[in-house]
Structure 1
Amino acid sequence: MIVERAYAHVDSPDPGEWPWSVPCVRQFLDEGLQFEAPVTFLVGENGSGKSTLVEALAEGFGLDGYGGSADWKYATSRGKSLLGERVRFDAAPRGRRMAYSRSARKGFFLRAETALDALERESLEPDTRSHGEGFLAAFREKFVVPGLYVMDEPEAALSFASCLELLGHMDQLVKAGGQVVCATHSPLLTALPGADIVQVGEGGMERVRWADLELVDHWRRYLADPQAYLRHVLG
């Protein structure tokens, strides 16, 4: 493990003001987030706050909130997010220098919205590849050295087969000593053996078994009987 716990302190946060109004952020301020496995998945509906949380974790570790590797320092002038500038870590012994020294830091923040720009900065030539191939280029070429790798919905550009390849990269990365935190909607990715799954929603954060995830239940029901869902959305 690189980091064992993340936390943040805010003096008298306004519960009606974003991001302090988001349930998972409020819980994060109260309790922090303990990392119990080398791979942690954050799962939840759009608007649940999982992307807000992973972006803040990346920024707290010193990764560019725009996306990119630990070697790249802030592509945008906006600075860190309100939560990201307050995030701190309890690091594992081998992660202490990495968490607090830029020269020793290793990792990458991959977010779906800015991935192609970030990859182009990293000289991975995404313009010569499809969207999904550009993502996989990052996994193959940048997700190698042990460090903290944060991802926000990496499945957005990937086919079923490519998601399986990503799982293989994650497995090899953590076996080499890396750590992954990933926000996702994918029942395929979250099935990675040994991963810790945190479901995010109106009740904040809770650890859930893969088989008990709401998204897994919905996909099972949909694949068994698509019409049971489609009749509610099609004219």
Structure 2
Amino acid sequence: MLVRRAYIPDSKRPESFGRWPYTVPCVAELAERGLVFTAPVTMLVGENGSGKSTLVEAIAEGFKLDSHGGRAGRKYVNDRPRTPLGDVLALETTPAGSRMITGPRSRRKGFFLRAETAFGMMNAVSGLHGYWADDTSTMSHGEGFLAVFEAMFRERGFYVMDEPEAALSFESCLKLVGLMHELARTGAQVVCATHSPVLAATPGADIVEVGEHGIRRVKWEDLGLVDHWRRYLTDPALYLRHITG
């Protein structure tokens, strides 16, 4: 592993938690206690607005990845300011992680895939040296995502993803699970924010559920989203009757 903990140093903690992003429960808990990483793959799971994207963006910035998305040591949008949380967040790294962050840019290995900006980033860097040879503009969104994963998620490094399932089919999600599992075996580290019960089931992943409760670790079978998907697939009418009247 490369990162042991994400936290806000005492000198940078806010005097008041009455403003965003500290009004988000998981961010407030991070500010109070920090977030410890216990496994090579960490899944941050939560509803829209739960704060999981805010966390992963800041964690990416803590490892000197561009919060707009892209590979370590490079910036996709040079004038993008740091996020409010990323501006104060610190990472406690392992010796290997410390060497990677503090060394020359060429030594940094990792990638941040942010679903909201991925397509623009892919079109901007496709074919450039150090990225991928395939022309992702001629592919479907899902095929493009997989091309990026297969080209960029190879070396031992720090990989952050924000809702990568946005463009992926069920089978493509399974391919990403296999890739994350293999990365973990090489000494790489993955932090992924997701709504997908498929991705959350990655073997050996530490699952962190965020929401109004703040931050808590749960087993896959105890996730709220797993329960909802299980019941919906068993009997969609249980849910749809409330939607369609």
Q: Shorter-chain TM-score: what band?
A: over 0.9
Q: What is the percent sequence identity of the aligned residues?
A: 59
The whole-number CA distance in structure 2 between the counterparts of 1:14 and 1:39 is 32
Confirm or deny: 8 A CA contact 1:13 1:20 kept in the other structure.
Answer: no
One-letter amino acid matched to 1:142 = M
Cα deviation 1:140-194 (Å, max 9, x = unaligned): 0000111100000000100000000111111121112211000000001111111
The whole-number CA distance in structure 1 between the counterparts of 2:26 and 2:121 is 27
> RMSD over aligned Cα, in angstroms?
1.3
Instruction: Indicate the SS of the match to 1:183.
Output: strand
The whole-number CA distance in structure 1 between the counterparts of 2:73 and 2:102 is 14
TM-score of the two chains, using structure 2 as the length reference: 0.92
Which stretch shifts more, 89-98 or 179-188? 89-98
The answer to whether the aligner puts 1:119 opposite 2:103 as a matched pair is: no
Structure 1 unaligned residues grouped into runs of 5+: none
Cα deviation 1:83-127 (Å, max 9, x = unaligned): 101111111121111133352211000011111122233324321
Which stretch shifts more, 28-37 or 4-13? 4-13
The whole-number CA distance in structure 1 between the counterparts of 2:16 and 2:243 is 37
TM-score of the two chains, using structure 1 as the length reference: 0.96
Change (3 A) 1:46 1:76: farther
User: Aligned residue pairs: how many?
Assistant: 235
Change (3 A) 1:212 1:11: closer
Confirm or deny: 8 A CA contact 1:20 1:26 kept in the other structure.
Answer: yes
The whole-number CA distance in structure 2 between the counterparts of 1:12 and 1:157 is 37
Give the aligned partner of residue 180 of structure 2. Answer: 170
Aligned pairs for 1:5-24 (under 5 A) are: 5-9=5-9, 10-24=12-26
The whole-number CA distance in structure 2 between the counterparts of 1:149 and 1:22 is 24
The whole-number CA distance in structure 1 between the counterparts of 2:109 and 2:195 is 26
The answer to whether the aligner puts 1:62 opposite 2:72 as a matched pair is: no
Q: Give how far 1:76 is off.
A: 4.5
Which stretch shifts more, 120-129 or 62-71? 120-129
Cα deviation 1:55-77 (Å, max 9, x = unaligned): 00001110001100013125152
